Amino acid sequence: LAGVPLVLIGTSRGTISAAALGARLGQRIAGTVLTSSMFRSVPRKYKEPGPGLSKFDFATIKVPLLIVHHASDQCEFTPYSAAANLSDRYPLITVFGGASPKSGPCDAFSQHGYIGKESETVEEIVNWMLKKPFRTEVK
């Protein structure tokens, strides 16, 4: 669709692809959103090992970049502290609260997937994409 802005969005393991494409596509896209980013490498003993974003240079993404993360994400590969460390360079939406987890800590039905806070989180992402004011905290 010519003239329609394209924003890449990746969640968890998908942030690896979204970040890589965000860097590679440059100005052909309007922005990149990384949610529940896989900041740490996954050891070989796991089913899908790899470096995650542990060695990624976020400065290679030349379009607007938004980081979204739940403050209580318990997935060992997606620590909130890594998202907070990037907040001096990129906007960060921090999500708090939600429902009790109904899945493992790295799965969708936990804070990793914004359980109970999905709608509010998506609303703020959309506001950012539309260049409208957005809340940096979803409570």
Instruction: Tell me the C-alpha distance between 57 and 68, whole Å.
Output: 18
DSSP letters spanning 5-31: --EEEEETTHHHHHHHHHHHHGGGSSE
Which residue, chain included where needed, has tokens 């309007």? 30
Write the pLDDT tens digit of every residue in 61-78. 999 999 999 999 999 999
Write the pLDDT tens digit of every residue in 32-60. 999 999 999 999 998 889 999 999 999 99
Instruction: Tell me the C-alpha distance between 21 and 136, whole Å.
Output: 25
Res 1: pLDDT = 59
Report how far apart, in Å, the C-alpha atoms of 31 and of each of 55, 115, 130 are: 21, 25, 11
Which residue, chain included where needed, has tokens 């790295």? 106
Closest CA to 65 of 40, 81, 89, 84: 89
Could you give the 3-state DSSP secondary structure of residue 92? strand
Res 4: pLDDT = 81
Q: Which two tokens stand for residue 82?
A: 């890594």
Write the pLDDT tens digit of every residue in 84-124. 999 999 999 999 999 999 999 999 999 999 999 999 999 99
Instruction: Tell me the C-alpha distance between 70 and 112, whole Å.
Output: 7
- Residue 93 pairs with which residues in a beta bridge? 68
Q: Is the pLDDT of residue 134 over 80?
A: yes
